[in-house]
Homo-oligomer: A and B are copies of this chain.
Amino acid sequence: MHLHAIIPAGGAGTRLWPLSTAKTPKFLLDLLGSGSSMLQDTVRRLAPISQGITVVTGQGHVKAVSEQLISEGGLGADVSVDIVAEPTPRDSMAAIGLATAIIHQRHGDCIVGSFAADHVIGDEALFHECVLTACEVASRGFLTTIGIEPTHAATGFGYIQGSDPLDIPFGAVRNVAGDPVDMPAYHVANFKEKPDETLAASYLAQGGYWWNAGMFIVRSGVLLNALKQHHPDLATGLEKIAASWDTQARDEVMGKHWPELTKIAIDHALAEPMATAGLVATVAAPKSLAWDDVGDYEALIRLRTGSGNEREDGSDAKVFLQDSAGATVLANGLSSVAVLGIPDALVAYHNGQLLVTTRSHAQDVKDAGSYFA
């Protein structure tokens, strides 16, 4: 069965203000200095294993997304990209559900996979092997997640608690090159919310817990049936919209039913109840996958290459640091920045908006982000 990738590209987040804002969300930015946006990187990464890619984004971002993915020669990636515009945000279940319903209607029962638009993955080949293994598991009817082997007692991620291993016959999964892949997968007992440090440490000590990377791979028919069972109203609304999608009535039907759809995340809507019913599995990815959700400045600082201080003329801002060991300056657009006497300072500027803090207050940035939202 072929994979149809779905990328919900929404949510401004506030933890990377002022670099990421409602107008310039993370996925549209080259936050890591890779030379392309996180969305572009995501599409390029998925292209070799996807039949098609559907990006679900807010009306206000359709133009930018289209420019990044389609207008400029389609990234050079050999995959068709569809954009589904949301008139208003209705959370991830509506976004993924609508894309799934449209794909199901066009292609029949197939595998859909939902992937965040703004995560980073270090080992792309390994990522392909994880997802292809997840496709095999999904083809058996499971809602399949990717679990990341924890490197430390992180409190910023949700956790997946595994149980019995699944038996995947040797040769059932092959990588892009056609070689057999041997990646372990497990039944999922439970999803765990972001833990405190003590609990996170106990997960690590016990073993059998993985970071929830927020990817879901599932047969479209399984997803739509589960939605009918757990959220019949949402399922009905999405069915109506999907039925009209490739007709002239699309806008009218969308305009009527979209605003009424239940706002709920796929985690609560499907993943948790299906886990309780024993219908969720996870592919256990080794830490060498080097996955990160780039959720805050700590992550950004850890992952960045390059200075992030490009001036309007293309050169870098001049930065003068004194008594400020460990300072980070992300001053795209400024000409000169001096930081004096603030160790671990974090200075981020974007388009007239300025953040001044220290690394130990990186978690408080969301307060500023909310204030200015």
- How far, in whole Å, are A136 and B368 apart by their CA atoms in the complex? 59
Q: Which of A79-87, A98-106, A110-118, A328-336 contacts B (4 or more CB under 8 A)?
A: A328-336
Among candidates B18, B331, B356, residue contacting A340 with C-beta atoms closer than 8 Å: B356
Query: What is the copy number of this chain in the assembly?
Result: 2
Residues of the B chain whose Cβ atoms lie less than 8 Å from the Cβ of A354: 331, 334, 336-338, 347, 349, 354
A365 and B349 in contact, given A354-B331, A354-B334, A354-B354 (Cβ under 8 angstroms): no
Residues of the B chain whose Cβ atoms lie less than 8 Å from the Cβ of A339: 356-357
A181 CB-CB contact with B under 8 Å? no
Most B CB atoms within 10 A — which of A340, A349, A360, A367?
A340
- How far, in whole Å, are A337 and B338 apart by their CA atoms in the complex? 16
- How far, in whole Å, are A52 and B372 apart by their CA atoms in the complex? 52
- How far, in whole Å, are A335 and B371 apart by their CA atoms in the complex? 13
A361 and B323 in contact, given A335-B352, A352-B335, A356-B342 (Cβ under 8 angstroms): yes
Residues A372 and B322 in contact, CB atoms below 8 Å apart: no
Residues B320 and A338 in contact, CB atoms below 8 Å apart: no
Residues B358 and A341 in contact, CB atoms below 8 Å apart: yes
Residues of the B chain whose Cβ atoms lie less than 8 Å from the Cβ of A361: 323, 340-341
Residues of the B chain whose Cβ atoms lie less than 8 Å from the Cβ of A360: 341
Residues A340 and B353 in contact, CB atoms below 8 Å apart: no
Q: Mark A17-29, 1 if CB is under 8 A from B, else 0.
A: 1100000000000
* Beyond known contacts A323-B361, A340-B361, A341-B364: 10 more, CB 8 A cutoff: A318-B372, A320-B372, A322-B367, A323-B364, A336-B352, A338-B356, A338-B365, A339-B356, A340-B355, A340-B356
Q: Which 9 A-B pairs have the closest CB atoms?
A: A338-B368, A341-B361, A340-B357, A335-B352, A336-B353, A340-B361, A320-B371, A337-B354, A340-B364
Residues of A participating in the B interface, judged by any CB pair closer than 8 Å: 17-18, 318, 320, 322-323, 331, 333-342, 345, 347, 349, 352-358, 360-361, 364-365, 367-368, 371-372
